[in-house]
Structure 1
Amino acid sequence: MRRHGWSGDIPVDDDEAVRRIIETSRSAIDARGTVSVSEVAQTLGVTRQTIYRYFPTHETLLAATAVSSVAGFLDRLAAQLGSIDDPTEAVVEGIAYTIEQLPHDRYLGLVLQPGKASAFTAGVTSDIAIGFGRSILQRFGVDWAAAGFADGGLDELVEFMLRILQSFIVDPGRPARQGHALRAFLNDWIAPAVAAHAGVPIPHSHRR
């Protein structure tokens, strides 16, 4: 870690440096909806090169800030859907609920919107995107390992879910599916894939 700058208040380690960079970025986004690397550097009393040491691009800074700030969305997800313990239902509801919340959550939009600085800008399989997807699935009351999705299997399920999310965000449909229609579509086409991998039958309630 660089040992100068920081307006004389040197972070004790890299973890603290990252935390302070993200907090500064979040404050700017809360105030104006965006932030620049130069602004973060100036506020913290460091050079832009110091910021780039931890976040190689402006996009990765924005994505990391957004992911650190979606706790409100995840809390709402857990409150409304956390009792779900079936893996197929969890994936369907995780996708549907995320799509429905996207227009209403500033930081969720920064995480997921393609075509702008976001976790998807770096790629749907980036560590940031996978970490966010894991956070969604882990808010459900599902024993993922017992359901056949241990370790790497869960990461592949997360990737599958994120790729589906990305496709809906890039092209919502004409007209865009919502509510029951959205869930019926996901239950017809996504639930069977998840159930087949888990080796469990698709509950009748998952069918149209």
Structure 2
Amino acid sequence: MSTPPLRKDAAQNRHRIIETARRYVDDGKSLQLNDVARTASIGVATVYRHFPTPEALLETVALPTIEKLLRRAEHSLAEDDPWTALREFLAAAIETMLTDPAVPPVFAAATDALEVTGDCKRRLATAFAELLARAHAAGVIDPGITESDMIPLMCGVAYAANIQSTLDPTERATLGLRYLDLLLTGLHRP
């Protein structure tokens, strides 16, 4: 069952709320619904009607980037070379984590406020598992490396790049990709 389209004014309010939240996240500000309402010059009740929790708003802000990463995962799954496919996906994941500050807390959350977020995260996990399994089957990655190993390693790469606080997000992403390359060089079995 689909929901009816929003009235024009409701859609405009929703858009203003999301834009304001995006600025808050990009500026490293805490995402409090009352503050977002005040900054967006929209009533608090209107914000809560669209987003009952800060988590729901954060997921909405992060969703376009997460969906883009999911499309990249699907593209990687179509790649014939298992090593290239895995490497491309992991590079896209690192770049995503380092350029959109809304994404890491959404990925780290134990629960999802929106069903679509949970669905995207499950689809990403499935794609990653398939990419890793293909790399194992082709013998191009250390057979002892598991999904459970790769997740903290990827977090470590992102953390190492993020501690360079003087760099802008694009520069941190470039550094993160360099660190990822170093990590994957150690895991690769030519």
Going by fraction, where is helix more abundant, 1 or 2?
Answer: 2
Q: TM-score of the superposition, structure 2-length normalised?
A: 0.50
Q: TM-score of the superposition, structure 1-length normalised?
A: 0.47
